Structure 1
Amino acid sequence: MTEHPTGTDSLTATSPVAVVLGASRGLGFLVARELVDRGHHVVVAARDRSEVDEAVAELSRRGDVTGETCDVRDRHDVGELVGRVEHTLGPIEVLLTVAGIIQVAPAATLVLHEFEDAIDTMAWGPINAAMTVLPHMRRRGRGRIGTVTSIGGMVSPPHLLPYATAKFAAVGFSDGLASALSGTGVTATTVVPGLMRTGGHEHARFGGDAAAEYSWFAPAASLPLLSVDADRAARRIVDAVLAGRPMVVLTPLAWLGIRVRGLAPGMTTRLMGLAGRLLPAPPQRGGARTVEGVDARRRVGSRVVHVLSRLGDAAARRNHE
């Protein structure tokens, strides 16, 4: 059940209304901040009330913000949120779905509920959100819908199988929706980032040998040559969504990966297989339960890993991760 909003409530917004799902931390928080700075009344929505309140407290210093708790996996929860926003604040002009989870583990240690959680959040989440707000936008003949997917929805990387499965579905939905909306005045933008320095490695979940998995993922998500600045990414995302572009690819590595996959799909799969063989092997006697990044970090004995992850750690502190 969606809880009552925090911030400005029961008042019709004088600025265009934007709803950002998954906006309490990380990339979603930065996207919400960018929209506030551009004069939107932003509805910050996420599952955790305390995280929403914290994000609203910071963003409200910059402009008009309302906080809502909403679980994108629950279409009824999403429906209540959309109905209440349309009734109290006015028409939703922009909808951005950023909510996501990451599970890092070898395929041999994964269980079905990890796929279910990933698909419910990152495939059904965008579907629930877009299909709920779409009738309102189509009736008005205007609106912008953005779905943050991933290069992992174009090329399936090793040790991220549930994530890639969900992101492939999100890419298919968003790209198909963009073509279906042609000529209606409503647009759908598929956002395809590569690795970004959001600090998300602290909330990612690690399975198998959790410390070993963290030891490659956290530096990869932190080093400048492999990941991009999340503030810049947020600006480009908002630019593309407001302009109604059908797709935006955010990083050079993502751009390259998409083109290599298109030209040589079999070779790309083999390369991903070779990369997977360089990553940590599953434990000999099954896998322990998955743990959050902050817990996996404590198990890492290498100072080098912590040094290589410093930029990502700093981003986590800035972005409420």
Structure 2
Amino acid sequence: MTVAASSPSSPGTSTRVALVVGASRGLGLLMARELLEQGYRVVIAARNELTLRAAARDLDPSGARVVPRVADAGDPDAVADLVAFAERQGVLDVVIHVAGIIQVGPLAAMNRGHFREAIDVMTWGPINLALAAVPGMRARGHGRIGIVTSLGGKVSAPHLVPYSTAKFGAVGFTQGLAAELAGTGVTATTLAPGLMRTGSHLQAAFVGDTAKEYRWFSLGATLPLVAMPAERAAQKMVAATLAGKPVAAIGIAAQAATRFGGLAPSITVHGMGLFNRFLPGTSASGPNVRSDDASTVKGEDARRRLSSPLVNFLTGLGHRAARRNLER
């Protein structure tokens, strides 16, 4: 069933609504903007009310087409209330889960708290959202679900183990969901982008030798030959979701790594092991000792600890992206 669009400035039964979870900054903000351009009334959700309202003003200063709603993706009751709220804004046609956290550092400096936080947001978040949204979509006979996973959900990289663990779970859930929804008019798209220049390196959480961890990660998340512009990635992901594609690998690196990782998993793991040798090492004492809590250092603080004019210069594109995308 195709839902006709009405004027997106006021809610109603024929207003097409899109819900984006994790839209207060970065990629989620860009995907919400793309959905606005497609004519949707957009409900944006995140945990922090101040950043969420700032995002709503950035997206639509008039306040007519963007509706902010505070919600924690890891809380199933909060997500169920969020979906019910979005359904009252019109016809909930699209739901997209983007919310995520990036924890960077050696496994020796990680603890269960890091894994729990990553899984709550990036595995349980998509599950909570889909379980809440699917019944209404199936009843209407139409709906589009997009779950932003990652290249890290296809190939697990060292010093990103909690992140990859959570993303692998999201990939498995979304692909299974897509198979179960076949023929219902509702689709679920696994969105697997490579590195994108969103400015998220300043919001990432670092453990271990935080200055050195920041150095390699910020360069990888920023340099033009490694990271793709986030605006282009957002356009491709929204297009793939609206088209109902089951899987969309975004960017050359994600496409190549996904295919090679599937064809030659052992070689891929060995390659990641070689890559690990170039990353900051671990020691039995000092900054790499695992703590009893999920303590981390934010990217902006790690940048100051590194205090490298060269790295600051090389990551200039990323810093400008961070300002545009409300990452700082």
The normalised TM-score by structure 2 is 0.92
The separation in 1 between residues aligned to 2:324 and 2:206, in whole angstroms, is: 23
The separation in 2 between residues aligned to 1:245 and 1:92, in whole angstroms, is: 19
CA deviation after TM superposition for structure 1 residue 297, in Å: 0.5
CA deviation after TM superposition for structure 1 residue 99, in Å: 0.2
Q: How does 1:152-171 map to 2 (within 5 A)?
A: 152-171=152-171
Q: Is the 8 A contact 1:211 1:299 kept in 2?
A: yes
CA deviation after TM superposition for structure 1 residue 11, in Å: 4.2
Q: How does 1:153-192 map to 2 (within 5 A)?
A: 153-192=153-192
The separation in 2 between residues aligned to 1:21 and 1:9, in whole angstroms, is: 21
The separation in 2 between residues aligned to 1:290 and 1:71, in whole angstroms, is: 20
Asked if 1:319 is matched to 2:317, the reply is no
Q: Is the 8 A contact 2:127 2:173 kept in 1?
A: yes
3-state DSSP class of the match of 2:296? strand
The alpha-carbon distance between structure 1 residues 48 and 92, as it changes in their structure 2 partners (threshold 3 A), is same
1:84 matched to which residue of 2?
85
The alpha-carbon distance between structure 1 residues 305 and 153, as it changes in their structure 2 partners (threshold 3 A), is same
Q: Is the 8 A contact 2:13 2:91 kept in 1?
A: no
Q: Is the 8 A contact 1:190 1:248 kept in 2?
A: yes
Q: Is the 8 A contact 2:46 2:71 kept in 1?
A: yes
The separation in 2 between residues aligned to 1:304 and 1:49, in whole angstroms, is: 35
1:290 matched to which residue of 2?
296
What whole-Å deviation, never above 9, does each CA across 1:162-217 have from its counterpart, x for those lacking one? 00000000000111111111100000000000000000001100000000000000
3-state DSSP class of the match of 1:184? coil
Asked if 1:264 is matched to 2:264, the reply is yes
Letter in 2 for 1:302: S
The alpha-carbon distance between structure 1 residues 10 and 41, as it changes in their structure 2 partners (threshold 3 A), is closer
Q: Is the 8 A contact 1:9 1:66 kept in 2?
A: no
2:307 matched to which residue of 1?
301
The alpha-carbon distance between structure 1 residues 164 and 113, as it changes in their structure 2 partners (threshold 3 A), is same
CA deviation after TM superposition for structure 1 residue 10, in Å: 9.2
3-state DSSP class of the match of 2:56? helix
Letter in 2 for 1:85: A
CA deviation after TM superposition for structure 1 residue 302, in Å: 2.2
Q: Is the 8 A contact 2:111 2:290 kept in 1?
A: no
Count of residue correspondences: 313
1:135 matched to which residue of 2?
135
Q: Is the 8 A contact 2:9 2:41 kept in 1?
A: no
The separation in 2 between residues aligned to 1:238 and 1:10, in whole angstroms, is: 23
The separation in 2 between residues aligned to 1:237 and 1:13, in whole angstroms, is: 26
What whole-Å deviation, never above 9, does each CA across 1:259-307 have from its counterpart, x for those lacking one? 2112211111011011011100124412574200011000013222111
Moved more, 58-67 or 301-310: 58-67
CA deviation after TM superposition for structure 1 residue 258, in Å: 1.1
1:38 matched to which residue of 2?
38
What whole-Å deviation, never above 9, does each CA across 1:237-267 have from its counterpart, x for those lacking one? 1111111111111111111111211221111
Asked if 1:200 is matched to 2:177, the reply is no
Letter in 2 for 1:309: T
The share of aligned pairs that are identical, in percent, is: 50
CA deviation after TM superposition for structure 1 residue 13, in Å: 6.5
3-state DSSP class of the match of 1:278? coil
What whole-Å deviation, never above 9, does each CA across 1:44-80 have from its counterpart, x for those lacking one? 1100000111011111148611010010000000011
Q: Is the 8 A contact 1:105 1:207 kept in 2?
A: yes
2:5 matched to which residue of 1?
none
1:230 matched to which residue of 2?
230
Q: How does 1:104-115 map to 2 (within 5 A)?
A: 104-115=104-115
Q: Is the 8 A contact 2:221 2:227 kept in 1?
A: yes
1:3 matched to which residue of 2?
none
CA deviation after TM superposition for structure 1 residue 14, in Å: 5.0
The separation in 2 between residues aligned to 1:290 and 1:262, in whole angstroms, is: 33
Letter in 2 for 1:132: A
CA deviation after TM superposition for structure 1 residue 106, in Å: 0.3
The alpha-carbon distance between structure 1 residues 238 and 58, as it changes in their structure 2 partners (threshold 3 A), is same
Letter in 2 for 1:272: M
The separation in 2 between residues aligned to 1:260 and 1:199, in whole angstroms, is: 28
The separation in 1 between residues aligned to 2:199 and 2:94, in whole angstroms, is: 25
Letter in 2 for 1:73: G
Letter in 1 for 2:67: T
After the TM superposition, which segments of 4 or more aligned residues of structure 1 sit over 4 Å from their partners?
8-11
Structure 2: give runs of 5+ residues left out of the alignment: 1-7
